[in-house]
């Protein structure tokens, strides 16, 4: 079979790969770029596609601006639930902090969007774009060549790409086959996710609560529904999954209190093992690594996809700068520019989310008092609070 020459090949059409393809839209038109997206899973309304499962994602206010740039926000806004306030607390101890949109000076702190809806909107846009869409198709092999990579698909088709973007979620083995190692820290925790219905309206409040068994978050969805992320030690996750709905709701109530009234209903429950991982190389000449393939973090602060989306926008900006200067997307200078744009934000967010998980996971005598005092002080320290909120919202990166 003959080889097809491609300017940019994106391996993985999940949330991150699809976002990059959409963001590249204006450059594809302006520079007649040939872009291919290769996605292994067949897309279906059932949500079988890995990125577009039952989860909802907290979308930072700064990410809204990125979706506006992609001209997707007006569609996404129809299902986006705004977050107006966040309460962070620890179970059984004093000290809590309240983050508000007033502290940030924005109409909301962020939004919550169902992943399946976000995926559908992205893929509907891709269907209208002039890209080569290979789906279902898996990249089985990737071989470096002097001016790019040779990609062999499971259909036997071969592509030659000047720039290859690995957005495969990090599980395909392609990264390792290129000799890129990944550092991984297993948190020895699982996240159980489910949607719950509350008796009282949430009024845009999100709750993060640290308990002796792990962190919990409730994020507002449309109507009286909230998205629950409940992190638990591996040894108790099976029992939590096996609980009847009534017992599950009672257990949740005892941990989250009665602020939202009675928890009334719970949807299907799903479990994810949690780890932090980071590829030792995030780019090379002719290669960029994005999304979970580049870095995965604990979901408690809802930063993983937001961080990845900033990577998407930085890669798009580096490619645009290269094309405007008469360079090609994959050459070494373009990739060095991408890495320079990315490094600080990535290091800060990864470090901050890990510190948060470790600080609230520590069980030392008196530590809950220290955490309570820290939360209380943070609540009073308005400039610090504002600075931290704006960074978490993706509004203060550089």
Ligand X SMILES: Cc1cc2nc3c(=O)[nH]c(=O)nc-3n(C[C@H](O)[C@H](O)[C@H](O)COP(=O)(O)OP(=O)(O)OC[C@H]3O[C@@H](n4cnc5c(N)ncnc54)[C@H](O)[C@@H]3O)c2cc1C
Scanning the structure block, which residue is given the tokens 């999100």? 206
Convert 343-352 to b/e letters by CB count within 10 Å (16 or more is b): eebbeebbeb
Q: How far apart are CA 14 and CA 31, in angstroms?
A: 25
Half-sphere exposure of 335 (CA within 13 A, CB side): 18
Q: State yes or no: residue 36 binds ligand X (CB under 6 A).
A: no
Structure-block tokens of residue 370: 């220290």
Q: State yes or no: residue 193 binds ligand X (CB under 6 A).
A: yes
Question: Could you give the C-alpha distances from 48 to 37, 45, 53, 270, 274, in angstroms and in order?
Answer: 18, 8, 7, 13, 20
Give whichever of 95 and 170 is closer to ligand X, judged by the CB atom.
170
Site size for ligand X, by CB under 6 A?
37
Contacts of residue 305, Cβ cutoff 8 Å, sequence gap at least 6: 15, 16, 57, 59, 63, 291
Structure-block tokens of residue 391: 């960074």
Beta bridge partners of 122: none
**Which window, 20-28, 47-55, 87-95, 275-283, contacts ligand X (CB under 6 A)?**
47-55
Give whichever of 220 and 329 is closer to ligand X, judged by the CB atom.
220
Q: State yes or no: residue 23 binds ligand X (CB under 6 A).
A: no
Structure-block tokens of residue 65: 């601006």
Contacts of residue 140, Cβ cutoff 8 Å, sequence gap at least 6: 152, 153, 154
Q: Which of 89, 90, 164, 172 binds ligand X (CB under 6 A)?
A: 172
Closest Cα partner for 216 from 97, 306, 301, 305? 301
Site string for ligand X, 137-156 (x = CB under 6 A): -xx-----------------
Q: State yes or no: residue 57 binds ligand X (CB under 6 A).
A: yes
Site string for ligand X, 292-321 (x = CB under 6 A): x------x--xxxxx-x-------------
**Which window, 10-18, 66-74, 94-102, 362-370, contacts ligand X (CB under 6 A)?**
10-18
Q: Which of 83, 163, 229, 313 binds ligand X (CB under 6 A)?
A: 229
Contact 184, 293 (CB under 8 A): no
Q: Which of 168, 208, 337, 345 binds ligand X (CB under 6 A)?
A: 168
Q: How far apart are CA 284 and CA 281, in angstroms?
A: 7
Q: Which of 4, 41, 75, 253 binds ligand X (CB under 6 A)?
A: 41
Q: State yes or no: residue 360 binds ligand X (CB under 6 A).
A: no
Scanning the structure block, which residue is given the tokens 């991982």? 277
Site string for ligand X, 265-284 (x = CB under 6 A): -------x------------
Q: How far is the CB of 372 from ligand X (least distance, A)?
A: 25
The contact set with ligand X (CB under 6 A) reads 11-17, 38-41, 49-51, 55, 57-58, 138-139, 167-169, 172, 174, 191, 193, 229, 272, 291-292, 299, 302-306, 308
């Amino acid at each position: 079979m003959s080889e097809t020459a491609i300017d940019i090949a994106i391996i993985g059409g999940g949330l991150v790969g699809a976002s990059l393809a959409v963001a590249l839209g204006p450059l594809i038109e302006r520079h007649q770029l040939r872009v291919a997206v290769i996605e292994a899973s067949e897309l279906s309304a059932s949500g079988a596609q890995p990125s577009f499962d039952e989860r909802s994602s907290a979308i930072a206010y700064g990410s809204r601006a990125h979706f506006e740039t992609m001209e997707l926000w007006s569609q996404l806004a129809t299902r986006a639930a705004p977050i107006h306030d966040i309460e962070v607390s620890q179970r059984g101890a004093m000290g809590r902090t309240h983050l508000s949109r007033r502290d940030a000076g924005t109409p909301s702190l962020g939004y919550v969007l169902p992943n399946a809806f976000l995926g559908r909107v992205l893929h509907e846009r891709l269907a209208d774009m002039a890209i080569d869409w290979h789906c279902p198709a898996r990249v089985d092999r990737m071989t470096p060549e002097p001016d790019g990579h040779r990609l062999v698909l499971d259909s036997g088709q071969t592509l030659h790409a000047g720039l290859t973007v690995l957005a495969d979620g990090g599980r395909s083995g392609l990264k390792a086959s290129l000799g890129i190692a990944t550092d991984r820290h297993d948190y020895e925790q699982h996240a159980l996710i489910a949607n719950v219905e509350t008796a009282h309206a949430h009024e845009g409040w999100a709750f993060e609560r640290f308990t002796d068994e792990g962190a919990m978050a409730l994020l507002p969805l449309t109507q009286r529904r909230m998205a629950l992320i409940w992190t638990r030690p591996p040894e108790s996750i099976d029992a939590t999954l096996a609980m009847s709905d009534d017992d599950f709701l009672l257990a949740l109530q005892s941990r989250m209190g009665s602020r939202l009234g009675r928890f009334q209903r719970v949807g299907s429950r799903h479990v994810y093992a949690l780890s932090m991982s980071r590829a030792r190389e995030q780019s090379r000449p002719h290669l960029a690594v994005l999304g979970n393939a580049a870095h995965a973090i604990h979901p408690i602060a809802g930063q993983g996809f937001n961080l990845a989306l900033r990577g998407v926008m930085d890669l798009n900006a580096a490619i645009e700068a290269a094309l405007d200067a008469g360079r090609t997307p994959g050459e070494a200078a373009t990739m060095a520019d991408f890495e320079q744009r990315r490094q600080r934000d990535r290091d800060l967010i990864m470090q901050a989310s890990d510190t948060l998980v470790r600080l609230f996971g520590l069980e030392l005598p008196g530590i809950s008092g220290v955490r309570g005092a820290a939360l209380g002080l943070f609540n009073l320290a308005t400039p610090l609070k504002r600075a931290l909120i704006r960074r978490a919202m993706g509004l203060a990166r550089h």
